[in-house]
A = this chain, B = another copy of it.
Amino acid sequence: MNTDLDSLLRERAIDALVVPMHEAMHPAFRWLTRGAKVTRGYAVKRPGAEPLLITYPMEREEAAATGLEVRLVTSLGGDVAGYADFFDTTLRELGARESVAFCGNVPIHLYLGIADALEQRGWRIHRGEDLVQLARKRKEGWEIDAIRSVGARTQEIVDDVRRALPTARTIGELKELVSLGIARRGMYEDHETILSIGRDAAIPHSRGNPRDPIREGVPIVLDIFPADKTSGYFFDLTRTFCLGRIPDELRRIHADVLEAFTLARDAMRPGTPAGSYHDLVCDFFEQKGYPTARSNPATTEGYVHGLGHGVGLEVHEKPSFSLLPPNRDLIEVGDVLTIEPGLYFPDRGIGVRIEDTFVVREEGVESLCPGGYGLDIGRSMKAIVKGSSLLC
């Protein structure tokens, strides 16, 4: 939330926060400028003031469209000394005196030099914390609406895949269906959608092989996380399907993942450490006899990843569910996050993951997905086809 950023700056006695934009859009700049369509510039935030947008005259129309105060300049830097001059002069003009923070994904070679040069001129450069990332954690209503809208469109694509599965021949066909479905709905894929079958489904971040044939009796994992092209907000949703007869082992593993998912979902409350829910799910899986990365970080079998993550202008953002220091993130009202337990057995070609995106409310978490967690495509298919025909 915007007000969180004011508090963060004031608590640290930071006069100004600078979020540079060098061609490659990144979440800190998008958030602070509400998605300014400029390709070069800086957003500057001072405690208690609206962000200021500094850019070239050529970008003036898109800058003005943000509704922010805009300052047009004919040079935004040059070499390291030029940038340092620019920041030194501009920040003083804006009333900053000694302390500045830089945030965002920016060219590291340049900003290491700029930071040195500014320190030589007496500036104190804040380090080690991304204040915008911290402020972005709790979402405002309009952000939750934006995420919900991506969720509704994402669910349509999941339904399309479910419908197409019985007649699809390859993973590649389904991947194309997903990519076009994402583009048609005004969204984009940041990283390639995960659509994997059998052994690949058992390697959580395998994207899946387009040439793999669709087979019966093996798990198919669809992990889809598109973002809206305009708002930049992401959604994240995973379903595991199986065509034909479902092997008993897969059915049992899927039931255990769904139980872990339900357990974490029903337990989650604001004000508690995010890591505690990862612990809860590790306890559950270990009691069932599955290996976990908590007891063996190098394991490639069992529950090999974290429980979830925040979702917003990045597909992975705060809160973190990690048990490792320095993570102390709390679940807070307004957080948008995923719960996504999974179990993986590469040698047996079995991987199962179930994931919804949730918003945290006072009384617990509210899923932004309509549910439908079953492995079974055949029966869902018939139900859907029957439902549709009634409508025709």
Residue in chain B with minimal CB distance to A60:
B203
A190 to B39, CA, bound (A): 10
Contact B127 A107 (CB under 8 A): no
Contact A128 B80 (CB under 8 A): yes
| Residues of A275-324 whose CB lies within 8 A of B | 293, 297-298, 300, 304-305, 314-316, 324
Given A60-B203, A112-B111, A128 and B305 touching (CB < 8 A)?
Answer: no
A298 to B56, CA, bound (A): 9
Q: Does A106 contact B (CB under 8 A)?
A: yes
Q: Does A38 contact B (CB under 8 A)?
A: yes
| Residues of A181-211 whose CB lies within 8 A of B | 182-184, 186, 188-192, 200, 203-207
Q: Does A388 contact B (CB under 8 A)?
A: no
Q: Does A13 contact B (CB under 8 A)?
A: no
Which B residues are in CB contact (< 8 Å) with A38? 205
Q: Tell me the smallest distance from the CB of A26 to a CB of chain B, in Å.
A: 6
A300 to B105, CA, bound (A): 30
Q: Which of B74, B108, B300 contacts A111, CB < 8 Å?
A: B108
Q: Which of B106, B112, B128, B180 contacts A79, CB < 8 Å?
A: B128
Which B residues are in CB contact (< 8 Å) with A251? none
Q: Does A113 contact B (CB under 8 A)?
A: yes
Contact A74 B298 (CB under 8 A): yes
Q: Does A326 contact B (CB under 8 A)?
A: yes
Contact A112 B112 (CB under 8 A): yes
Which B residues are in CB contact (< 8 Å) with A188? 188-189
A385 to B106, CA, bound (A): 48
Q: Does A4 contact B (CB under 8 A)?
A: no
Given A78-B324, A78-B325, A108 and B104 touching (CB < 8 A)?
Answer: yes
Partner-contacting stretch, out of A17-25, A140-148, A259-267 = A17-25
Q: Tell me the smallest distance from the CB of A83 to a CB of chain B, in Å.
A: 10
Which B residues are in CB contact (< 8 Å) with A305? 58
Q: Does A90 contact B (CB under 8 A)?
A: no
Which B residues are in CB contact (< 8 Å) with A23? 314-316
Contact A112 B127 (CB under 8 A): yes
Q: Does A7 contact B (CB under 8 A)?
A: no
What's the number of copies of this chain in the assembled complex? 2
Which among A27, A75, A79 has the highest number of chain B CB atoms within 10 Å? A79
Contact A105 B107 (CB under 8 A): yes
Q: Does A130 contact B (CB under 8 A)?
A: yes
Contact B79 A205 (CB under 8 A): no
Q: Does A158 contact B (CB under 8 A)?
A: no
Contact B109 A126 (CB under 8 A): yes
A330-356 vs B: 1/0 string, CB under 8 Å? Answer: 000000000000000000000000000
Contact B62 A206 (CB under 8 A): yes
Given A103-B108, A105-B106, A191-B39, A79 and B115 touching (CB < 8 A)?
Answer: no
Contact B58 A204 (CB under 8 A): yes
A63-82 vs B: 1/0 string, CB under 8 Å? Answer: 00000000000110011101
A369 to B272, CA, bound (A): 59
Residue in chain B with minimal CB distance to A127:
B113
A18 to B54, CA, bound (A): 31
Q: Does A383 contact B (CB under 8 A)?
A: no
Which B residues are in CB contact (< 8 Å) with A180? 183-184
In the assembled complex, 14 residue pairs joining A and B whose CB atoms fall closer than 8 Å, in A order, are: A25-B190, A25-B191, A39-B191, A57-B300, A62-B206, A74-B298, A102-B108, A102-B112, A104-B108, A105-B107, A109-B129, A179-B186, A180-B184, A189-B229
